[in-house]
Amino acid sequence: MTSIGILGAGRVGSNLANKLSAAGHHVTLGGRTAEDITDRPAGIAPPIAFTDQRTTARTADIVINATPGHSSLERLTELSAELSGKILVDVSNATHDAADGLPGDLCYPGSSLAEKLQANLPDTQVVKTLNTMLFMVMTAPESLATPPTVYVSGNDENAKSAVTGLLNDLGWQPAWIEDLGDIGTARATEAMILVVPHILRRHGLKPFAVSLSR
């Protein structure tokens, strides 16, 4: 059992919390403000703990960033002390909103949120993954008709191995996991978000993943 803290109590964070808790991990879900933690999110019940993000980051062994990507860098940099020595799993995409509220242009063209996080959190091992699919596929990859791909980027092999174990617990088979290399490779997978709004406008919220076919 691993102690996992999830920053962000929206659809992504709540979905991950339920699946990882069901897999036997001790999970804490972190809301951003005092108002966020007044009422437990719908569908989140004990044994999942619910508290503020600073406490969540401080008490977990592995921390998952499920906060909005455009504000993640500032938000997580403020938690540098709490994240020191931890594995940080970044599942967010940093984009500006388009006029219709869907993902727009990248916030960090020529770089990536994951690279920015690693540079600003040098004592934390950042691993990028799960950012190339709709949130429901993160915890149910077997639901797609075609086997999907989940990409992994990070500088530390032990950190990536630990995250791969969590992916297995989420239902990802080893053959579906593609280790791309160091954290610099995250700029490729983060750029995949550029295709997502076009798919959503045509097909709505039907589950899909941007995958590798062989």
Does this model's pTM top 0.85? My answer is: yes
Amino acid identity for residue 81 in this structure = A
How deeply is 143 buried, as exposed, middle or buried, from its count of CB atoms within 10 A (0-12, 13-18, 19+)?
Answer: exposed
- Structure tokens belonging to residue 164: 């791969």
- Say whether the peptide bond before residue 47 is cis (omega within 30 degrees of 0): yes
Owner of token pair 């860098």 = 73
Report the percent of the chain where pLDDT is more than 90: 89
Q: Cα separation of 176 and 174, whole Å?
A: 5
pLDDT tens digits, 68-95: 999 999 999 999 999 999 999 999 999 9
Alpha carbon 184 to chain centroid distance?
A: 17
- The alpha carbons of the chain give a radius of gyration, in whole angstroms, of 16
Q: Cα separation of 67 and 146, whole Å?
A: 28
pLDDT average, residue stretch 145-158: 97
Does residue 193 surpass a pLDDT of 70? Answer: yes
pLDDT tens digits, 7-60: 999 999 999 999 999 999 999 999 876 555 666 777 888 899 999 999 999 999
**Structure letter (DSSP) for residue 65:** E
Say if CB 192 and CB 132 are below 8 A apart.
Answer: yes
Q: Cα separation of 73 and 182, whole Å?
A: 19
SS3 (DSSP) at 168: helix
Give the number of C-alpha atoms closer than 13 A to the C-alpha of residue 51, restricted to the C-beta side.
15
Sign of CA dihedral 119, 102, 211, 158: positive
